[in-house]
Amino acid sequence: MQSRTHTCGELRIGNVGERVTLVGWLENLREVGSNLGFIVLRDFYGTTQIVVETEEMMKTVKAITKESTIQVEGVVRERSSKNDKLPTGEIEVVPDSVKVLGRCRYNELPFEINRSREADETQRLKYRYLDLRNPEVKNNIILRCNVVSALRKAMTEHGFLEITTPILTASSPEGARDYLVPARKHPGKFYALPQAPQQFKQLLMVSGIDRYFQIAPCFRDEDARGDRCPGEFYQLDMEMAFASQEDVFAVLEDVLPPIFAKYGKYDIASSAPFKRIPFLEAMETYGSDKPDLRIDLRVNDVTELLKDCGFEPFKDNMIKAVRVSDCKESRKVIDSLCEQVEVQAGNKAYWFKVDETGELAGGVAKFVKPVQEEITKALGLEKGDLIVLCAGKKTAAQKTSGVIVKTFGANIPGHIDRERYEFCWIVDFPMYEIGEESGELEFCHNPFSMPSGGIETLLKAERGEIDPLSITADQYDLVVNGVELSSGAVRNHDPEIMLKAFEMVRLGEEDVKSKFPAMYNAFCYGAPPHAGIAPGVDRMVMLLAGEDSIREVIPFPMNKNAQDIMMGAPSEVTPHQLEELHIAITKIEE
């Protein structure tokens, strides 16, 4: 153990009388008198109380600044006043030697270590090495290590090979901005950091690798969110040859629940098979393609019942209703929740209640009363029910109803079972959509997903026998507790089907070959059917730790502006470095 005989979380009552050497950080010194004081010594493993009982030793320790690293030699004895909240709370160490190993040269710290999570985030990120000394913060990183280890073990046991793929690669349209790296030996050309190992893992399938996985670093120049860190993130990337959608489902349904149940804040996780919800059904029933199945609220379409009720916002719009049973909240609380919905959805929410006499009251009740009998029957209304409504064009109404479900479900007692992890698969995504800017047919999600029905479906759309917007893809999302963990798909491995799929969005053979040369050419050499997925590791650990921000589970995260303020990145480089890379920086005139 190098300079120590035990760690600060190791000593117990059975060690009383032993001579020990401990090392760690001086967390605190509490002085009781000129010759009595108590030191809290902290290391990675825990804390131990050190008792100072002489004036000479008190003089020594008073000269040591907090958070200095020290070595303590002394004898273990039983504490007269035990602390049953600490594993080491039955003992203390009486030192005869205290040596400074690394002095903290600052009398004032940026924040109190054990309360660092209360500090300003900029300070926490600037002094992340101090923030990580906080046991709460450190434990999230330990959790991350344990989860990654468990994922590796489980994937290996399922016959997957861990294969690393290139970090320097070619730029390709993946849906986000690339991080570009100038190529010194090839002036004017750039590598790109991979947004995902998508093409490489598919090429591995063509190469004859049957099952691949990797804890893969991915790089995307995109804005931060609570569940997304800018710059880089990690995912459990996997691909299977000769596999269907159900094969992928079977692996993750076996791998993830035990890990969530073992390492999660809650010890209950969905068992296989996870619920499968078609995309269109999810939007209609939950108002979201990321439903939180812990919430028991559902969305109902009441357009036909209320479109002519005389309430102006309902006119010529789709109208959605969410029934919240047994609601005892006041008008003030309900209005506050409606305001939250408006902030999140950008669209208003309205409400009325069924009072104890069975009459409709509050909010927009007067507009609904003429059809009270019909809406009571349609929604199964009972006394004490709250009905929250929204209106708008289809997409806006669906989005708002989804926000209503999550907002009211999470805040009205009795409508969410928080103590569990509920998984589901969202399936049957649309292959195409009409682009908001172009007004023309575009890929809805992953252009390399296999269209359901294969080439025949595409040919029917080409002949006008079916609407291209009705084509679904063999694509799926994995969702847990309302958070999307991953998207995946059965891949379009047939060059003929691939070219036809791209033709639908006005891209020809040359476009496909130029944008994806390696993958297209490889598929021409006999590609196996294959499928895969890539759950986000950072997001997974965030859920397991019960954190709201993904930055809490990343060792050295960037801030919201994609800056590493601890290391000073991004930073300027020297003119010589730019010259070597054949790059000139020019200022744009404002």
Per-residue pLDDT tens digits for 76-121: 999 999 999 999 999 999 999 999 999 999 999 999 999 999 999 9
**pLDDT category, 1, cuts 50, 70, 90?**
low
pLDDT at 280 over 80: yes
Burial class for 561, CB neighbours closer than 10 Å (0-12, 13-18, 19+): exposed
Q: Domain 13-102 is in which class?
A: mainly beta
User: Strands, E, within 194-273: which ranges?
Assistant: 211-220, 231-241
Q: Residue 98: how many CA atoms within 13 Å on its side-chain side?
A: 26
Architecture of domain 120-273+426-560: 2-Layer Sandwich (3.30)
The residue among 516 and 260 whose pLDDT is bigger is: 260
Inter-residue contact 327 to 412 (CB < 8 Å): yes
pLDDT at position 173 is 64
Distance CA 475, CA 446 (A): 8
Whether the model pTM is above 0.95: no
**pLDDT category, 209, cuts 50, 70, 90?**
very high
Three-state secondary-structure class, residue 571: coil
Burial class for 151, CB neighbours closer than 10 Å (0-12, 13-18, 19+): buried
Reading the block at residue 484, the tokens are 């999307």
Distance CA 57, CA 467 (A): 85
- Give φ, ψ of 193 to 5 degrees: -75, 135
* Domain residue spans of the chain: 13-102, 120-273+426-560, 295-411
**Residue 368: which residues within 8 A CB-CB, separation 6 or more?**
306, 309, 352, 360, 375
pLDDT at 175 over 80: no
Measured over the CA atoms of residue 154, residue 160, residue 161 and residue 165, the dihedral's sign is negative
pLDDT at position 448 is 85
Reading the block at residue 473, the tokens are 């893809």
Q: pLDDT by residue (tens digit) across 211-265?
A: 999 999 999 998 877 677 788 999 999 999 999 999 999 999 999 999 999 999 9
- Chain mean position to CA 15: 44
Distance CA 36, CA 49 (A): 13
pLDDT at 444 over 70: yes
CA distances from 484 to 65, 450, 476, 479 (A): 46, 21, 11, 4
Closest by CA to 2, choosing from 43, 47, 53, 48, is 43
Average pLDDT over every residue of 194-222: 95
245 Ramachandran zone, left/alpha/beta (phi>0; psi -120 to 50) = alpha
Torsion of CA 433, 434, 437, 439, to 10 degrees: 160
pLDDT at position 3 is 84
Measured over the CA atoms of residue 165, residue 171, residue 175 and residue 177, the dihedral's sign is positive
Distance CA 472, CA 482 (A): 23
Greatest pairwise CA separation for the chain in angstroms: 95
Q: pLDDT by residue (tens digit) across 53-74?
A: 999 999 999 999 999 999 999 9
Distance CA 511, CA 515 (A): 6
- For residue 174, the one-letter residue type is E
**Total count of residues recorded for the chain:** 590
CATH (residue range 295-411): 3.30.1360.30
Helices (H), 388-451: 394-411
Hey, what long-range contacts does 264-273 have (CB within 8 A, 24 or more apart)? 264/421, 264/543, 264/544, 265/544, 265/545, 265/546, 266/418, 266/419, 266/420, 266/421, 268/419, 268/420, 268/421, 269/420, 269/421, 269/423, 270/421, 270/422, 270/423, 270/424, 270/480, 273/249
75 Ramachandran zone, left/alpha/beta (phi>0; psi -120 to 50) = beta
Average pLDDT over every residue of 450-456: 94
Q: Strand pairing partners for 14?
A: none
